[in-house]
Amino acid sequence: SRRTDVVGELRRQLMATEEEDSLSYPPLNVTTGNDVCILFYASNFSLKANSSVFIDLTNATFVTQNVDISSSECSDINTTLSLKYTKPVNGISSLEIRFLMTNTFYGGSARNWSTLDSVEIVQDGEKFAKFNVSVISAPAEYSFHCQLVGTSNLYPARLIPSNNEAKNWDVFISRLQIQGFNIENNQFSYASDCTGFFIPEIWMGLVTSILLLWILAYGIHMIMQLTTNSRFDDPKGPALSVPQTE
């Protein structure tokens, strides 16, 4: 379900996600008292360690909810979603994944924006991997949605390794939706999507159109520069002599 009572004028990356059939299971929620402070959903949430050990956390996170979220923290400025798993696969006794979000006021837009700053993975309490995050931000009263999020260069929202241990992990999250601030009625707000207005295909079309228009304008300019002779040769009279200076 989605909250549909938010009204605002946004000119940046807004997409309403109101499809009731889009959630096959409810999102994971973190509460403080009786209020939900974090909502998290993904249709596929999986990792790969050392390019060989595949870890699918989708079922444990959203269906059976066999995950410990007690270390999660909420405030008006900083929010941390902590997901702890016990023996997710053979060879890994514990795994913790943290999503660190901040709520910051920007004078240029005269509003607060929530940003997912980093993602951290802690294996067996000692191996620490940290990823910086690109383009995951939304107005503070909105949620964030992206079709593909992960470590691949092909994803619109990337997790960029910031230490050597992070290079041993591959992360894949499909249809991510997350909100860490200003949650009302325990439901996701409208979603700010990671896909901008100017996707690569649109840029290619614009560049091609500009190039063709430039060729057309140049051709018209050259045609307009053509001039006719001021004098013509008369076959019945003497030959027309044109001095070289003319």
% of the chain surpassing 90 pLDDT: 47
Same domain for 161 and 217, yes or no, is no
Q: How many domains does the chain have?
A: 2
Same domain for 70 and 7, yes or no, is yes
| Tens digit of each residue's pLDDT (9 = 90 or more) over 26-50 | 899 998 888 899 999 999 999 999 8
Q: What is the mean pLDDT of residues 104-114?
A: 86
Same domain for 206 and 113, yes or no, is no
Range of the domain at 221: 199-226
Q: Which residues contact 141 (CB under 8 A, 6 or more apart)?
A: 6, 8, 112, 181, 182, 189
Same domain for 82 and 129, yes or no, is yes
Same domain for 19 and 65, yes or no, is yes
| Spatial CA neighbour of 15 closest among 242, 130, 217, 175 | 175
Name residue 150's beta-bridge partners: 158, 172
21: pLDDT confidence band, cut at 50, 70 and 90? very low
Show the tokens assigned to 19: 């499809």
pLDDT at 1: 43
